[in-house]
């Protein structure tokens, strides 16, 4: 076997240590410890490309793979009992998970379905907790010919809420 090394590499116990690989592909190798310097020789940032779709829990995922999951995450500000449009979807089935960012504010999980924009949505509040020491709950509405709207039932706990729409 021939090994050609350039730079500051050394072999320790049958393993190559401290190798700087430039413009090379490695096949059939096991990398036990690594770090990536994502800067080119000119100091420009580079992307990691040609990543396969994840299989195991600790596998890397591409942006496209995550985008294709159809999960929308957003921050929504709720003031008073006025609603805030989450998405302008007219039909579909979704799970909406709302976590409070407001200290002790309400949170909830909803299942919502609407098969025609001219019909009322079927909405189930699966889990809900009111704001601390209050009866202020979150509510979801999906009006005719409109998108999904999140609001509070009382004017307390104004501020930011983290919404995950799946």
Query: What pLDDT sits at residue 142?
Result: 95
- Residues 96-126: pLDDT tens digits? 999 999 999 999 999 999 999 999 999 999 9
Higher pLDDT, 82 or 39: 82
| DSSP state for residue 33 in the 8-state scheme | S
Is residue 2 over pLDDT 80?
no
Place of tokens 């998108």: 147
- What local confidence, expressed as pLDDT, does residue 59 receive? 87
pLDDT of residue 48: 79
Q: How far apart are CA 139 and CA 70, in angstroms?
A: 22
**Interval 4-61: pLDDT, tens:** 556 666 566 666 666 666 655 666 666 666 666 677 778 788 887 788 888 998 888 8
- Tell me the mean pLDDT in the region 56-69: 86
Handedness of CA 115, 120, 126, 129 (dihedral sign): positive
Instruction: Mention the CATH class of domain 72-165.
Output: mainly beta
Average pLDDT over residues 72-86: 94
Write out the DSSP string of 93-153: EEEEEEEE-STT--EEEEEEEESSTTSPPEEEEEEEEPSTTS---EEEE--TTS-EEEEES
Tell me: pLDDT of 136 over 70: yes
Does pLDDT of 135 surpass 70?
A: yes
Q: What are phi and psi of 63, to 5 degrees?
A: -60, -40
Confidence at residue 13, expressed as pLDDT on a 0 to 100 scale: 62
CA 29, chain centre distance (Å): 32
| Percent of the chain with pLDDT strictly greater than 90 | 57
């Amino acid at each position: 076997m021939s090994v050609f090394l350039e730079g500051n590499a050394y072999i320790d116990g049958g393993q190559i240590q401290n190798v700087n690989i430039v413009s090379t592909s490695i096949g059939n190798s096991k990398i036990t410890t690594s770090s990536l310097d994502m800067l080119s020789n000119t100091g420009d940032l580079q992307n990691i490309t040609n990543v396969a779709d994840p299989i195991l829990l600790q596998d890397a995922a591409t942006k496209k793979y995550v985008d294709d999951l159809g999960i929308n995450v957003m921050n929504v500000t709720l003031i008073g009992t006025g609603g805030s449009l989450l998405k302008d979807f007219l039909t579909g089935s979704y799970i909406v998970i709302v976590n409070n960012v407001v200290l002790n504010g309400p949170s909830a999980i909803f299942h919502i379905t609407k098969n025609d924009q001219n019909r009322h949505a079927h909405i189930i509040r699966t889990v809900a907790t009111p704001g601390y020491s209050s009866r202020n709950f979150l509510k979801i509405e999906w009006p005719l010919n409109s998108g999904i709207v999140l609001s509070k039932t009382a004017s307390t706990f104004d501020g930011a809420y983290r919404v995950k729409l799946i």
